[in-house]
A and B are shown apart, each in its own frame.
Chain A
Amino acid sequence: MTILRPTFLRLRAMSLRILPGHAWGKVRALGPTAQGLGLVLAVLAVVGPVLPVAIFVLLILFMIYATWAYSINLITGMTGYVSFGHVVFVGTGGYALGYGVKVWNIAPFAGVALGGVLGAVLALVIGVVTLRLRGAYFAIATLVTPLAAFYIVSGTPALGDGSGLPMNLGFQIGSQYYTIWALLAAEVALTWWVTRGRLGLGIRALREDEDAARAVGISVSRVKLILYILSGGFAGAAGAVFAWYVSGVFPDSFNLLFSLTMLAMIIIGGMGTVLGPMLGAVIVLIPHQILIRILPQGEPIAIGVSVILIALFLPGGIVGTIRQYVPDARRYFE
């Protein structure tokens, strides 16, 4: 550690020169988690273009999944409402981009924006009805929405019915990369922001005991609905980027596997935390790239076993568990 210190000081001195003093103070006040995540995002933004194409393409997928993980974290992690059907926003965003690009000839960026808006609107519609339900009832009510959406798009000629909407936008990985980077950065910042201050307090109270939170004057239903709308918006926008990434959108975009993967990511990383979804995305996707070449069948089983063990024995996931057992580390793991 002592060897590192001079380097660290020199680095800090360098950054002090780049940033004015008061701004540096603000960065410091963010705390290690926000600094660390900020650093990761900054590095991603800077090194992206010099990376080999295959890794660049992989990073797009990673950021799409991380955006989804943060999205489901906003509702399921923050409030404990398990959004099993979260993929409905992914598919909706994808179809928004596919339809916009194919029928209205809009730019993919506009398609991503449209996907975000439609995701948010759909979340509003679903949320108004279902957020009054608790526990498994909410999980089931949301579970049926992607199933229904799958059948609806399969039977809608304007959406290509079973053939979906394949599209040829070329190999636009640069635009995809920075679009999803911006979405992820915005979502991480939002997640960090909603966990502190009054709103954060309200959310924590809601998760611990919804009735008690309501009794002390927190407008529980509004908080839940806002979180759900934000969550749906980000999932929809990232779903649109995903459709762009795989050059098409098909009924299978409503495959429940996506819901399950994002859920597994936040369970493993730590639900309702700022760092958890990012850790979960890394932990699920890095082994994926290796397992797919050596043991493709073992991968879902490994994820399943991890989810079981973590749910039963370490319900806080990685971040929650470290915070629980190593109080000193709480500063670094939020």
Chain B
Amino acid sequence: MTVAADIKTDTSAFATIRTPDLQPRPVKVKATGVKVFYGAKQALHGVTIDIPDRTVTAFIGPSGCGKSTFLRCFNRMNDTIVGARVEGEILLDNRNIYAPDLDVVELRARVGMVFQKPNPFPKSIFENVAYGPRIHGLARTKAELEEVVVTSLQKASLFNEVKDRLQEPGTGLSGGQQQRLCIARAIAVSPDVILMDEPCSALDPIATAKVEELIDELRANYTIVIVTHSMQQAARVSQRTAFFHLGHLVEEGPTNMIFTKPIEQRTQDYITGRFG
């Protein structure tokens, strides 16, 4: 089943929800009472959620609802924002990532991130992917490094398109290829978790379909958390969905349940397009 075909035949918004992944997975990330403040402004009001291992979890909700803020707590990217403060506890494999003795650099190697806008470095395609392995010393020889780069590009379904021009700049690729390059770059450091912050919002429908297909493949090996504005996308790629509104986690559950039988009225209103 290809996602591109889904888009063409997708007349009713949520007709194509994938067979839900019903077998219970162990919890990979456990967030408890997470609050985020930007200066005096509170952006997140105590969010508690379990993210299961090797599953795609989608965060949906209207703009400014705190879903991206919450996502950025998982790799502590909020630390880079002046005046941002995080309270609460986030356990990754039962270790608090906000513990004082935790090395942020090590954490970010385990929790990769793909951004809204493709952001390849102004380097060659090869160097873009080799960047992470190089700084973390993941490859001892040149041959090993090449292997890591090639495997990562293959996993990101980009290798066949770029194998003859690995030395050309990554910025010369198309938008969708750039985004898959960024995914390859994140995979290259062998993370456990991949965070995706609206990864398709800058892409055209065909590139979007390819990235969605890739996300579905990656789920076999990685825990994926994706923030998206598109409810169709959440329905297509995720097994679990969490709905955020005004800094609160309103409802969270298996994707097919959230989209067909939501418990909360606000969720119902949002997914049927009554506000948003």
B is bound to A: no
